[in-house]
Each structure stands twice: as structure tokens, then as C-alpha cells.
């Protein structure tokens, strides 16, 4: 059974548990009986719609909460609440439909209510996916001691989060916005048998309660650095390479500093990037309920991000700086590049820019796209019709997002990635799927979209775009 269906079963089990408690996560104050559907009927309908077997749920069987599940960044009740609105609504007609729609709340309101309920799942309902063929990308400077069953990767970081002491890594960064940009390095370890796209973490299903470097990706060390030391370190790394290239990863909403650091290191390995991998981490809360706060923080980080990008090449001698931005991280990036374009003249501050599942108002993106294209040599936008997180964002904001297919603007290569979504929410497809990783690999290596074998051209009345074969 593939991961999408595994996660579908988990979602249905979550809904079953809430339903068993007499509560709909879409309208928490409404008893299911009031709108004419039983818990069993609801679970059966969801399972049928998703083409999976309805999981059994043992009343009162408690083994953990959603935070302990395999993919905590994707298993969040807020998105479930918005998603269920679309799934359940067709089952109601007449007065029941009116009652359902009248009680439909915004995603943020649903989060607050649904978060009150513990989630209980029978582990016997979860089947594990078949293993994929083993394959790993290399990272030039990461050579582990022969005795270690894991590999170390070092990344650089810049963050405007507020720092705090951490017993495990030395320094940690929370959700609060700091008063300055903090620079430094992280050391991340990967198990040798990791497959591309994977970030194996401890899971309750395997009775794993703490990370093991032989099995899991781990953030081993975080060190802050003075500005001169930081830029000298990147320059020294670039001196070891032929192309003198760097890439900057800007994470999305609901992402902790640790998760963002692990993802940056994963991209460096899987893209076989011969250069300096850099994380720019803005103060995301790492919590579903903080969507509006995260949005404001992303926008508020744009000025510091722009200044950092402008300084990076000048202080390190990098010939090319690429950027991969995900989800709400595109809010900060697009605003930063749009501002920089006003002072750049004819020069480019960055080379390739990949906008993955951008959670940016579509009309605002169209307005900013001219500035973004002026500041970057090439711009690629990846969107997916399966991206339920983007659909949920639309419910909150009331406007379409740039990550909703298909926003087509001059100077931007729009790629429909609907065919490659691998997770249930299909919001992490840019880093989880091999086809996506391969396409970003080719973007960085200057292969035009028209020449990438995994893409085929398509068109609408708005213009041309590309789609995964």
C-alpha cells in the first residue's frame, strides 16, 4: 500500500475518533446526528471516496496523539477541517446541506476547537509501504568515518528567530522573532541506508521514542558565528568547488528551525549539490494554529532576507546563488526580490529560483512576478491540484493562491506537479518525490524546461506551461 493510502487511513481513523465523540471537526459545535449522518456512515463514505479500506477503531484505545505519528508536519487537524468541508458537503442535500454550510467555520476556528480532542488510533490498521530501490546522492565534503553507519552533512544558516540554549545541539531557535539576523552552521547526520526524499524520524509505530543516528536523520550540532567567520566559512567551501555555487532554502509555514535544517541538508544530499547549502529560517511557529502569525512573520522577514541575499554573493564570491522556497516561505522571498529589483539596475541578485507550492495571493504574485523575474535569471513555479494545504490556505485568506494550478505569467516556467504528489496532503511533493528532485536538479544545471525529458508542454488560454509526464 502506498504512503498516500496509509495516510488516508490515518485521516479516516482521526475523523472516526472525533465522530465517535459526537463532534465534527468541520463544525465542532454540531452533533453529527443533527445533519443526518452517523459516524460509521461518515467513515465508510470517506474510505470509499479515497479508495481505501475503512480502518477499524477501538473505542478508548489510546496510544498517542497526532504529534507522535509518522508525519507530524502533514497530519494536522486544521487542514483536515478545511479538507473535510469539500469531501463531506456532497453527501448533504436540501435543509441538511444548508445546515452544514451554515456551520462551516474557517480553518483557524476549526483548529482551536479540534485541538481539544485526543486522537486514538488502532496501529493494526496501518500498513507499511513497500520499500523503494535504494539509491543515494553524494555530498562532496561529507565523508563519515568508516566505523560510523551514518554520514555527516554541514549546512550554513541565517535566521531572524530568537535564540535560546539547547541541551542537545548547543543552541536552539524558537518561534519568536529576534531583533537581529543570527548566522551560523548546523551539523546533520543521515543513516547510510536512507533513500532520496526521505527524512526518517522516530515513529511510535516502531516503538521509537528518541532518535538514533543509525536509523534517523538528526540535528547534531548548532553553532552561531560572527558575521566575518560565517561568510569566510562559505567562501572556504566555495573555494573547494568548481562552480562556486550556493543554494538557499526558505521553508514554509508550520516548520521548526530543526525541521528546516534537516530539510536543507536533505536537499543538499539528494540534489548532489556541489557548493554551499544555506538555510534561511524565518520565525515560523511550527504549530498549525499559528497560521496568521506565521503569515505576518513571513512578510516581516522580507527585508532582512533581501539584505542577506544581496550580501551573500558580495561577501563570499559566489558566482551563482540558487533559491528553493516552499509554501509560505515564498511570501518572504517574492517580497524580498520584488524590493531588490528596484535597485538592481540590470544585474541579477540570484540565478535559479524554484517556487514550490507558493502560498502567496495569486493576484499579488502576478504583480510581484515582474520584480522577481528582474532579480533572478530564471524562475520556476511548481503547483499541484492535489495540494490540499494550499486549498486550506485559500479558505483562510479568501483568495486563490499562486500554488493553485495554474498561475501563468510571463518569464516564469509554470510546472503542474499534480502527477507526482506522494504524501496525503501533497504539499511536500517538492522534496519527497524523486521526479521533483530530479527536475530541480536539472533546473540548477541550466537545463531548460523544454529540454527536460520528464516534462511535456501544455497550454491554456492564459499561456503555455509544463506538466510531468
Confidence of residue 169 (pLDDT cuts 50, 70, 90): confident
**What is the distance, to the nearest Å, from the Cα of residue 410 to the centroid of all Cα atoms in its chain?**
26
Please indicate, yes or no, whether residues 72 and 209 belong to a single structural domain of this protein.
Answer: no
List CB contacts of 277: < 8 A, sequence separation 6 or more: 153, 155, 156, 246, 247, 249, 264, 265, 267, 268
**Does the residue 456 lie in any domain?**
yes
Average pLDDT of the chain to the nearest whole number? 72
- Has residue 100 been placed in a domain? no
Do 246 and 322 lie in one domain? The reply is yes
The verdict on 346 and 268 lying in the same domain is yes
**Is residue 361, in this structure, part of any structural domain at all?**
yes
Query: Average pLDDT of 386-414?
Result: 60
Is residue 130 domain-resident? Answer: no
Tell me, yes or no, whether 273 and 413 share the same domain. Answer: yes
CATH of the domain at 178: 3.40.50.1820
Distances (CA, A) of 232 to 229, 247, 314, 361: 5, 16, 12, 38
pLDDT, residue 28, reads 41
Residue 261, pLDDT score? 95
The lowest-confidence range among 50-59, 127-136, 161-170, 400-409 is: 127-136
Domain annotation covers residue 115: no
Structural domain harbouring 53: 3-91
What pLDDT, on a 0 to 100 scale, did the predictor assign at position 444? 95
159 and 293 share one domain: yes
Classify residue 68: in a domain, yes or no: yes
Domain boundary among 72, 91, 110: 91
Q: In 51-169, which ranges are E strands?
A: 150-166
Alpha-carbon distances, residue 258 vs 40, 263, 463 (angstroms): 39, 9, 40
**How large a percentage of the chain has pLDDT more than 70?**
58
Intra-chain end-to-end CA distance of the chain, in Å: 23
pLDDT for position 378: 96
Report if residue 427 sits inside a domain. Answer: yes
Most confident option among 22-26, 281-285, 398-402: 281-285
Q: Are residues 213 and 297 in the same domain?
A: yes
Question: pLDDT: is 333 or 116 the higher one?
Answer: 333
Phi, psi angle pair for 433, to nearest 5°: -100, 135
| 80, part of any domain | yes
Mean pLDDT value of segment 85-100: 52
Q: Could you give the number of structural domains in the chain?
A: 2
Residue at which a domain ends, from 71, 91, 111:
91
The residue among 255 and 73 whose pLDDT is bigger is: 255
Does the reported pTM lie above 0.85?
no
Query: What's the alpha-carbon Rg for the chain, to the nearest Å?
Result: 22
Per-residue pLDDT at 359 exceeds 80: yes
For the ranges 38-42, 200-204, 229-233, which has the lowest average pLDDT?
38-42
Mean pLDDT of 277-290: 79
**Final residue before a domain boundary, out of 55, 75, 91:** 91
- What is the pLDDT confidence band of residue 99, given thresholds at 50, 70 and 90? low
- What angle, rounded to 10 degrees, do the helices at 107-114 and 77-88 form? 120
Give the torsion sign (CA, 402, 406, 408, 412).
positive
Query: Do residue 319 and residue 449 come from a single domain?
Result: yes
Alpha-carbon gap, residue 195 to 202, rounded angstroms: 16
Judgement on whether residues 85 and 157 belong to the same structural domain of the protein:
no
Same domain, 215 and 354: yes
Residue with the larger pLDDT of the pair 456 and 39: 456
**Residue 213: closest CA among 260, 131, 144, 268:** 144
pLDDT, mean of residues 289-301: 77
- HSE-CB at 452 with a 13 A cutoff on CA atoms is 26
Instruction: Note whether 87 and 154 are same-domain residues.
Output: no
Q: What is the mean pLDDT of residues 21-39?
A: 44
Higher pLDDT, 20 or 369: 369
More confident residue, 288 or 225: 225
Whether the predicted pLDDT of 357 surpasses 50: yes
| Residue % of the chain over a pLDDT of 90 | 36
Residues 275 and 393 in one domain: yes
Q: Are 139 and 266 in contact (CB under 8 A)?
A: no
Q: Are 16 and 119 in contact (CB under 8 A)?
A: no
Residue 83 sits in the same domain as residue 179: no
Angstrom distances, CA of residue 199 to CA of 103, 119, 216, 400, 431:
38, 24, 7, 30, 10
Amino acid at each position: 500500500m502506498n504512503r498516500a493510502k496509509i495516510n488516508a487511513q490515518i485521516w479516516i481513523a482521526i475523523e472516526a475518533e472525533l465522530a465517535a465523540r459526537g463532534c465534527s471537526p468541520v463544525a465542532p459545535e454540531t452533533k453529527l446526528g443533527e445533519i443526518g449522518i452517523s459516524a460509521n456512515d461518515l467513515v465508510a463514505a470517506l474510505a470509499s471516496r479515497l479508495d481505501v479500506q475503512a480502518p477499524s477503531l477501538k473505542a478508548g484505545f489510546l496510544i498517542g496523539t497526532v504529534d507522535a505519528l509518522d508525519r507530524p508536519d502533514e497530519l494536522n487537524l486544521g487542514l483536515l477541517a478545511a479538507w473535510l468541508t469539500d469531501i463531506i458537503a456532497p453527501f448533504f442535500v436540501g435543509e441538511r446541506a444548508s445546515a452544514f454550510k451554515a456551520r462551516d467555520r474557517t480553518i483557524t476556528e476549526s483548529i482551536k476547537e479540534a485541538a481539544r480532542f485526543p486522537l486514538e488510533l488502532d496501529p493494526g490498521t496501518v500498513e507499511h509501504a513497500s520499500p523503494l530501490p535504494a539509491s543515494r546522492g553524494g555530498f562532496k565534503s561529507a565523508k563519515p568515518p568508516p566505523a560510523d553507519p551514518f554520514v555527516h552533512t554541514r549546512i550554513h544558516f541565517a535566521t531572524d528567530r530568537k535564540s535560546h540554549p539547547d541541551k542537545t545541539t548547543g543552541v536552539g531557535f524558537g518561534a519568536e522573532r529576534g531583533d537581529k539576523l543570527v548566522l551560523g552552521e548546523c551539523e546533520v547526520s543521515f543513516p547510510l541506508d536512507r533513500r532520496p526524499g526521505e527524512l526518517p524520524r522516530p515513529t511510535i509505530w516502531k516503538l521509537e521514542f528518541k532518535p538514533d543516528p543509525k536509523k534517523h536523520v538528526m540535528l547534531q550540532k548548532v553553532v552561531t558565528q560572527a558575521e566575518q567567520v560565517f561568510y569566510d566559512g562559505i567562501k572556504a567551501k566555495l573555494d573547494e568547488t568548481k562552480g562556486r555555487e550556493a543554494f538557499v532554502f526558505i521553508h514554509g509555514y508550520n516548520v521548526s528551525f530543526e525541521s528546516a535544517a534537516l530539510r536543507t541538508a536533505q536537499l543538499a544530499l539528494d540534489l548532489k549539490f556541489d557548493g554551499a547549502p544555506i538555510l534561511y529560517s524565518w520565525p515560523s511557529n511550527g504549530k498549525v494554529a499559528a497560521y496568521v502569525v506565521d503569515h505576518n512573520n513571513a512578510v516581516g522577514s522580507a527585508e532582512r532576507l533581501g539584505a542577506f541575499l544581496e550580501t551573500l554573493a558580495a561577501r563570499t564570491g559566489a558566482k551563482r546563488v540558487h533559491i528553493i522556497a516552499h509554501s509560505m516561505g515564498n511570501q518572504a522571498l517574492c517580497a524580498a526580490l520584488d524590493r531588490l529589483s528596484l535597485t538592481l539596475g540590470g544585474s541579477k541578485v540570484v540565478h535559479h529560483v524554484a517556487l514550490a507550492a507558493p502560498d502567496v495571493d495569486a493576484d499579488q504574485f502576478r504583480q510581484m512576478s515582474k520584480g522577481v523575474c528582474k532579480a533572478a535569471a530564471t524562475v520556476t513555479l511548481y503547483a499541484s491540484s492535489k495540494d490540499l494545504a494550499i486549498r486550506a490556505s485559500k479558505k483562510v485568506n479568501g483568495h486563490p493562491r499562486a500554488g493553485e494550478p495554474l498561475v501563468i505569467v510571463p518569464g516564469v516556467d509554470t510546472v503542474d506537479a499534480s502527477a507526482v504528489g506522494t504524501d496525503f496532503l501533497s504539499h511536500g511533493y517538492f522534496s519527497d518525490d524523486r521526479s521533483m528532485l530530479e527536475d530541480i536538479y536539472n533546473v540548477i544545471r541550466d537545463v531548460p524546461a523544454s529540454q527536460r525529458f520528464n516534462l511535456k508542454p501544455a497550454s491554456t488560454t492564459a499561456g503555455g506551461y509544463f506538466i510531468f509526464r
